[in-house]
Amino acid sequence: MIRFADRVDAGRRLADELAHLRAEQPVVVGIPRGGMTVARAVADALTAPLDLIVVRKLGVPWQPEVAMGAIGEDGVRVVDDRWIAPAHVTRAQLAEVEDRERAELERRVRAYRGSRSRIALRDRIVVVVDDGIATGSTAEAACRIVRAQGARRVVLAVPVAPVDWIQRLGHAADEYVAVQTPSRFSSVGQFYDDFTPTSEADVLAVLGGTADTRNGPAAQDRS
């Protein structure tokens, strides 16, 4: 098992696995929050432009760390029936979670982007980066957004993922890259010495921007 010192270390190791893309002039997009620090290291190594894709996990109501789906920019929605049915989540409960997360998604889009324009992804190779994959719902949503924006090829890249992650995600991406896919996997954080939650200020520092304070205080979760 490989342990990463922190997200920067993880990003540098991941960049080594993506070196074959350097000549392709890809665009790197990170999934906030934790994925942005990893994505910054990857973008620097590949001398690629960096942007973000905003998504929100839909957590099981009584076990919110478990994703039963995800929503993202441009109306993207992913629902994972493998978790909803066993957890006995009703349609009303799913809708309640989705409404709450949609409001937070919109707030984060305003906070992160402000007046900043998106990098055009049409006909580009796009590397979607997160700090790890658990259920894969948020990564799938991010890949769908990138495809909808016209990416020619989508590469999903993470430092760590479950051994069956490609089977879980299917055709979400055209290429999957991971530093490690251990058979024993309980959480992404178990593979990091420092997995300190990433703040909105951290995300904005990576992007080189300033938060829109009208959108309210930044929450301190790991999403």
Q: Are 109 and 76 in contact (CB under 8 A)?
A: no
Q: pLDDT tens across 105-148, in order?
A: 999 999 998 888 899 999 999 999 999 998 898 999 999 999 99
Q: Based on the domain organization, do 203 and 150 belong to the same domain?
A: yes
What is the spatial distance between Cα 133 and Cα 82, in angstroms, rounded to a whole number? Answer: 16
105 in a structural domain:
yes
- pTM of full prediction above 0.85: yes
Quick one: average pLDDT of 93-104?
94
The pLDDT, as a whole number, for residue 105 is 95
Exposed/middle/buried for residue 1 (C-beta within 10 Å: 0-12, 13-18, 19+): exposed
Q: Based on the domain organization, do 63 and 50 belong to the same domain?
A: no
Q: Based on the domain organization, do 73 and 85 belong to the same domain?
A: yes
Q: Based on the domain organization, do 134 and 25 belong to the same domain?
A: yes
223 in a structural domain:
no
Amino acid at 65: E
Q: Based on the domain organization, do 90 and 188 belong to the same domain?
A: no
Give the total number of structural domains in the chain.
Answer: 2
What is the spatial distance between Cα 56 and Cα 79, in angstroms, rounded to a whole number? Answer: 12
Quick one: average pLDDT of 211-220?
37
pLDDT of residue 24 exceeding 90 = yes
Q: Based on the domain organization, do 75 and 150 belong to the same domain?
A: no
Say which CATH number the domain at 66 has: 3.30.1310
Q: Based on the domain organization, do 187 and 126 belong to the same domain?
A: yes
Q: List, in sequence order, every residue forming a beta bridge with 79; answer none if it has no partner.
A: 69
Q: Based on the domain organization, do 32 and 129 belong to the same domain?
A: yes
Beta-carbon neighbour count of residue 3 at 10 Å?
Answer: 12
The pLDDT, as a whole number, for residue 86 is 77
202 in a structural domain:
yes
126 in a structural domain:
yes
pLDDT of residue 42 exceeding 60 = yes
The pLDDT, as a whole number, for residue 84 is 78
For 75, the domain range is 57-111
Quick one: average pLDDT of 24-36?
97
- For CA atoms 54, 14, 78, 117, the dihedral sign is positive
pLDDT of residue 214 exceeding 50 = no
Q: Among residues 91, 111, 131, which one ends one of the domains?
A: 111
1 in a structural domain:
no
Q: Based on the domain organization, do 130 and 186 belong to the same domain?
A: yes
Q: pLDDT tens across 45-93, in order?
A: 999 999 999 999 998 888 887 788 899 998 999 887 776 777 788 889 9
User: pLDDT averaged over the chain?
Assistant: 90
Q: Based on the domain organization, do 49 and 84 belong to the same domain?
A: no
Exposed/middle/buried for residue 53 (C-beta within 10 Å: 0-12, 13-18, 19+): buried
* 78: Cβ contacts below 8 Å, ≥ 6 apart: 69, 70, 71, 72, 137, 140, 141, 144
The CA-to-CA distance between both ends of the chain, in Å, stands at 24
Of 6 and 59, which is predicted with more confidence?
6
Say which CATH number the domain at 142 has: 3.40.50.2020
pLDDT of residue 220 exceeding 80 = no
Q: Based on the domain organization, do 43 and 75 belong to the same domain?
A: no
Q: Based on the domain organization, do 76 and 103 belong to the same domain?
A: yes
216 in a structural domain:
no
221 in a structural domain:
no
73 in a structural domain:
yes
